[in-house]
Amino acid sequence: MFEYQEWENFFAQTPGGIEELAAQELSELGAANIHPLFRGVRFQARKEALYRINYQARLLTRVLAPLITFHCHNTEYLYRQVKTLDWAAFFSPENTFAVFSTVSHSTIKHSHYAALCLKDGIVDYFRERFGARPGVSREEPDLWINLHIENNLATISLDTSGGSLHKRGYRKKSVEAPMQEVLASAIVRLTEWDGATRLYDPFCGSGTLLAEALMSRCRIPAGLLRKRFGFEYLPDFDLSLWSRIKNGAEKAILPLPEGLLAGSDASPAAVSAARVNLQALPFGERVQLGVSDFRSLSTLQDMVVVCNPPHGIRLQEDMDISLFYRSLGDFFKHKCKGSSIFLYLGRKELIPLIGLKPSWKKTLPSGGLDGRLVKFEIY
């Protein structure tokens, strides 16, 4: 019996800054004994909840099922422990796999070498028993296997998600520096938008914030477009239960009222990409899109405005960043009366340039940026 089977314990990976939000979402999806940690959440779940979490969670990147935990001080012992696991319970020499690892505060210093030992142990296990070995694929393997070593305590886990859950499947076209899907979903959740008022994004880019808002409002499962999940390779996988979970979630999808979601961007290429991406989702064709500089918009009154404006890195070289953000603040002040503004900024130094007093600020790091989500109430 593997560790996850004995204790029904799992570990969800999530970006830093949204651990508490992810814990709330896990609770809503049926998890129990939930403990937020740094960049992750430990929890317990039965099969039904595990399948539902992988299919519907918007704030997680992977859900790991621990197979074995042991004290490990050198790579030779790691290799021997890997070979003791019954890998044939999960896959065969005809399948492909990939490994990823993290190492900290341990006698084993290099995560890449630790991952190589894990890979070699799996390959040699199959060679000795079947005379054949599974292939390694870094692109789309059948199974992802994780190794985590911290303070010389090693845990080998199977990725029940089958690759990062941020890959929703709707991003058919992209633009420079697109927002990551999990971050966009966290921002939408933090707005507390319930669909009672209109939501508008005046810097829509390739449409990620609008897509995540659409999926949230219409209860579209985050994994709707994914072809498969890692939990389908678990030895105790229940196909009939998974089908019931999947069908039930899809029957709960709601239509999007016309005019409820809209956005624009100064770049025609970005708007074109957003249109293609949104149309990959149910009711995505109902999201209104247009090409417009924000300064040319007439009014965005009495609605929720959420956006990710240029951070300076993506601004044109001849554009003064201070002037840009002052004009953005003026736009909010004069054309967004009665609206709640949620602005994601890649650098906290940009906040004072808006010239408005924030209602609150939330730290949301992303891609090496010390990002902030800032709320402004325009009365």
Identify the DSSP state of 198: -
| 110: CB partners within 8 A, 6+ apart | 103
Residue with tokens 């651990």, as numbered in its chain? 19
Q: How many whole angstroms separate alpha carbon 370 and alpha carbon 366?
A: 7
Question: Please, are residues 354 and 325 in contact by the beta-carbon 8 Å criterion?
Answer: yes
Amino acid type, 135: G
- Complete DSSP assignment for 34-101: EEEETTEEEEE--HHHHHHHHHH-SS-SEEEEEEEEEE--SHHHHHHHHHHS-GGGT--TTSEEEEEE
Q: Chain-centre distance of CA 16, in angstroms?
A: 11
What burial letters (b/e) apply to 157-178, b meaning 16+ CB within 10 Å?
A: bbbbbbbebbebebbebebeeb
Give this prediction's pTM: 0.95
**pLDDT exceeds 70 at position 155:** yes
pLDDT tens across 105-147, in order? 999 999 999 999 999 999 999 999 999 999 999 889 999 999 9
Q: Which amino acid is at 260?
A: L
Lowest mean pLDDT, pick from 82-91, 212-221, 321-330: 321-330
DSSP 3-state assignment of 200? strand
Phi (first) and psi of residue 291, to 5 degrees:
-95, 115
Using one digit for the tens of pLDDT, what is the confidence trace for 24-79?
A: 999 999 999 999 999 999 999 999 999 999 999 999 999 999 999 999 999 999 99
